[in-house]
Structure 1
Amino acid sequence: MSNVAIPPTSPVSRERSMQIKRQSVISAARQVRLLSRAELTKLTGLSPATLTPLVRDLIAEGYLIERGPGTSRAGRPRAMLEFNPRAELVAAVSLEPGRISCEIADSDGAVIAHRTARLGGDIEDTVCRFIPELVGESLPALRGVAIAAPGVSSGGAVRLAPSVGLVEGRPIGESVQRRLGIPVVVDNDVNLMAAGEHAAGAGTDVADLLLLHVADGIGAGLVLDGRVRRGAAGAAGEVGFLPLDPADRGRDGVGAFEARWSENAIAERMVALRPGRRPEAPVRSLIELAHTDQDAAGYLDEVLTAWARLIVSCVCVIDPGRVLLSGAAAQLDDAAVDRVQALVTEIAPATTEVRRAVLGDRAVLHGAVSYALSAAAGGLPNLVPLP
């Protein structure tokens, strides 16, 4: 008989093991929505003895709701369990030029409360005031907070976001998490859009994609192997800073490429082409004018060529397979999208599909739900596919 003593299991290890098992039950129920205990056992691989107390606790906490018996081909019908999306609430905060918006949503992405205000005063104070007011008595169900900012984010700190007053690295994530006592994830707004399109939009069927977002600036969100990639300093996807032309020069936190080919730049050119008020949708207005104006048609081709070259530059490095056009770029009509696709196909070293993003303003919300639920589960902000 061996005399080697077997060390006792660490209480911390037991606690972590139970947390993992609990999360596997929640994840399975979230995906299937309505299932029996036997189906839950099969999906999680947990024994009935382990599953029974977990299910009992999750029913008491409101995660699972007991329903009547389901249909059965043989034997007695089994009692069913239904996942309750309102058991998990998340807060999605979006920092935009001149305003801040906050939404409280359940794990399905259904918004239950919303507020928008002018961006003024201390950002952390505003966030920490809005969230408790909006969530109200449901505060115990709040699992996490995701903050989207138009800049570079690393470790919860935001920089290079002059449009919202965050130029140097400011640790807003750490501050909000400390004050609210809830997991907080801070990321570039375009990364959240990419996560949202992957979870519930035009990228649900692929593991790799690049989302190109054209607005006041130009940025990209990159998903590889189902995860958003941020780079060593959180600056992955800052494609607006690419100097694709020797004459390009950026300044004051504005990249060289986006200074020439962003929505702002197109709007200024549109005013020159058709004097008057600045168009609310510059890209759409440019396409309309290009049908009848030769100068506008020439400029439109310049824009599409520049965006296509940007896409090809990204494809040469990361080979995403699919590129989603977001923001002002999603205003392109079919002919313009086809033109970009043709240019990319002609030059790119790998097959790349170009299509429009589909969620619009809702992409950030769905990405925030995905981030916040993952952060609440105790892991990195991986993507949690929405039903």
Structure 2
Amino acid sequence: MSDRASTSPVSRERSREIKRLSVILAARQARLLSRVDLAEMTGLPAATVTALVRELIAEGYLIERGPGAPTTGRPREMLKFNPRAELVAAVSLEPPRISCEIADSEGAIIAHRTARFGGDVVETVCTFVLDLVGDNLPSLRGVAIAVPGVSTNGAVRLAPSVGLVEAWPIGESVQQRLGVPVVVDNDVNLMAAGECVAGAGADVANLLLIHVADGIGAGLVLDGKVRRGASGAAGEVGFMPLDAAPARSYSGVGEFEARWSVNAITERLVALHPGRRPESPVRELIQLAATSKPAREYLDEVLDAWARLILSCVCVIDPGMVLLSGAAAELDDAALEQIQSLLAAKTPAPTEVRRATLGDQAVLHGAISYALSAAVPLPSLP
């Protein structure tokens, strides 16, 4: 019975698809290679590679580039992987904005749009992606969505800024509409992934990224992989009970971030220096602290609070490196050194503190990386 099953049309078709995907993955990785290289990388017979290459050239995946560099014997005809054959969409929900980028498999942006966020999340995401990808929809291979909340298997919760406190299956809904793999993750996780790909964490495999904005969150990378925890809530450090403050009613906002986020700093800064609301409260607090003793004392409180948060995380996960993102990246050298000194006095292991460098582009780089990883998965045999 096993012999009949192995030669059934379904099994043959699945085996052929696996071979096809292995050729695509090898070509995407090498970018420029010959048919002989493909056969060596995939372990497939030359005749099978030749047939698949002919098919992939017709579909636009591969481009013939002519003879390669001289070698012993006949020069090999080279093939170039076409990055435009695989497009991905990177979507970032940043209330009150939504941003969407269409990128090729090398990460080059070919379309971009940012608009005011409003209405149904799924409808808005699908409309943005479809409008931007246009006639290239057949080349769309994956979508990554960054959300300011917790994502578990594509369902989003604890995202009050987009109206999602209870779980809502954004990923599944978008995937049904667009017909391609969809990855949904916390925006700070994507920032951490982006900094590892192209930013301040490109030279390390372990790091903790602390992002300070309207809320406070963390992205954790260990052994080169973003860690999300059992329910996707790893990194929700804004909920850590590090202050002797009276408990508040649950509203999707954590105790720690209620006191030490950008919103809280803004309110305190307005009280210290009445007038307009600051556009960059951390930067302006540092400037005011140079001439105002109350501002200096409050700045010390902020830095001490952030250092306690970092210390609490470092004692558990020992990341070796901490990246400060968002408003925390606005700290000047003196403030950064103050946090580094507070940690050095108490951490059980050496921990370097750096500013994140990608800014708003961190989410984009992380989302593209996520979408590409989901674009052409290699299925396993049944």
Alpha-carbon distance between aligned partners in 2 of 1:201 and 1:219, rounded to the nearest angstrom = 18
Match of 1:106 among 94, 104, 114: 104
Residue in structure 2 matched with residue 192 of structure 1 by the alignment: 190
Output one character per residue of 1:204-261: Cα deviation in whole Å (capped at 9) or x when no partner: 2222221111110000111222222111111110000001122264542110111111
Is the contact between residue 209 and residue 222 of structure 1 (CA under 8 Å) also seen in structure 2?
yes
Tell me the secondary structure at the aligned position of residue 347 of structure 1. coil
Q: Which residue of 2 aligns with 1:60?
A: 58
Structure 1 unmatched runs, 5+: 381-387
CA distance in 1, matches of 2:44, 2:204: 30
- Contact 1:101–1:117, Cα closer than 8 Å, also in 2: yes
Counterpart contact for 1:93–1:147, Cα < 8 Å = yes
Query: What is the letter of the counterpart of residue 176 of structure 1?
Result: V
Matches within 5 A, 1:128-139: 128-139=126-137
Please say if residues 288 and 295 of structure 2, whose CA atoms lie closer than 8 Å, have aligned partners that are also in contact: yes
Q: Taking structure 1 as reference, are residues 295 and 233 closer, same or farther at Cα in structure 2, changes over 3 Å only? A: same
Structure 2 CA distance for aligned equivalents of residues 228 and 366 of structure 1: 14
Alpha carbons of 1:68 and 1:379: their partners in 2 closer, same or farther (altered >3 Å)? Answer: closer
Give deviations 1:35-59, integer Å, cap 9, x for gaps.
3333444444444344333333322
Match of 2:148 in 1: 150
Distance in 2 (CA, whole Å) between partners of 1:365 and 1:312 is 29
Aligned counterparts of 2:317 and 2:12: Cα–Cα separation in 1: 40
Q: Are the structure 2 counterparts of residues 77 and 318 from structure 1 closer, same or farther at C-alpha, using a change threshold of 3 Å? A: same
TM-superposed CA distance for 1:108, in Å, is 2.2
1:9 paired residue number: 6
The CA distance in 2 between the partners of 1:78 and 1:255, in whole Å, is 61
Q: What code does the residue aligned with 2:6 have? A: T
Partner AA of 1:34 in structure 2? L
Of 204, 223, 241, the match for 1:225? 223
The reply to whether residue 165 of structure 1 matches residue 163 of structure 2 is: yes
Equivalent in the alignment of 1:125: 123
* Partners of 1:46 and 1:60 in 2: CA distance: 20
Q: How does 1:273-352 map to 2 (within 5 A)?
A: 273-352=272-351
Amino acid at match of 1:195: A
Instruction: Give the direction of change, closer, same or farther, for the CA distance of 1:14–1:227 in structure 2 (3 Å limit).
Output: farther
Match of 1:176 among 145, 170, 174: 174
Cross-structure match for 1:34: 32
Note the alpha carbon deviations across 1:154-179, whole angstroms, 9 max, x for none: 12111111111111111111111112
Cα distance, 1:365–1:52 mapped onto 2, change above 3 Å: same
Deviates more, 1:22-31 or 1:181-190: 22-31
* Aligned-residue CA RMSD (Å): 2.4
Deviation at 1:10, TM superposition (A): 6.8
Report the counterpart of residue 370 of structure 2 in structure 1. 371
Q: Is the 8 A contact 1:70 1:77 kept in 2?
A: yes
SS in 1 for 2:336: helix
Letter in 2 for 1:114: H
Moved more, 20-29 or 316-325: 20-29
How many angstroms apart in 1 are the aligned matches of 2:299 and 2:221?
29
Q: Say whether residues 1:269 and 2:294 are aligned partners.
A: no
Alpha carbons of structure 1 residues 97 and 248: separation in structure 2 relative to 1, 3 Å:
farther
C-alpha contact 1:177 1:184 (8 A) present in aligned 2: yes
Which amino acid is 2:110 matched to? I
2: CA distance, partners of 1:379 / 1:33: 18
Aligned-pair identity in percent equals 73
Distance between the aligned counterparts of 1:47 and 1:169, measured in 2?
48
TM value normalised by structure 2: 0.90
Q: Could you state the TM-score of these two structures normalised by the residue count of structure 1?
A: 0.89
In structure 2, the partner of 1:242 is 240
Secondary structure in structure 1 of the residue aligned to 2:115: strand
User: Residue in 1 aligned with 2:358?
Assistant: 359
Residues 125-134 or 30-39, more deviating:
30-39
SS at 1:168's partner residue? coil
Which moved further from structure 2: 22-31 or 318-327? Answer: 22-31
**What is the alpha-carbon distance in structure 2 between the residues aligned to residue 161 and residue 116 of structure 1?**
20
- The offset of 1:354, in angstroms, is 1.5
- Alignment partner, residue 384 of structure 1: none
Would you say the 8 A contact 1:316–1:349 is kept in 2?
yes
Moved more, 288-297 or 210-219: 288-297
Amino acid at match of 2:151: S
* 3-state DSSP of counterpart to 1:102: strand
Q: Which amino acid aligns with 2:31?
A: R
For 2:246 and 2:30, the matched residues in 1 are separated by 51
> Deviation of residue 8 (structure 1)?
4.9
Query: By how many angstroms is 1:153 displaced?
Result: 1.0
Q: Is the 8 A contact 1:97 1:164 kept in 2?
A: yes
**Distance in 1 between the 2:142 and 2:85 partners?**
12
Deviates more, 1:296-305 or 1:133-142: 296-305
Query: Contact (CA 8 Å) 2:21, 2:378: kept in 1 or not?
Result: no
Amino acid at match of 1:306: A
Aligned amino acid, residue 252 of structure 2 = G
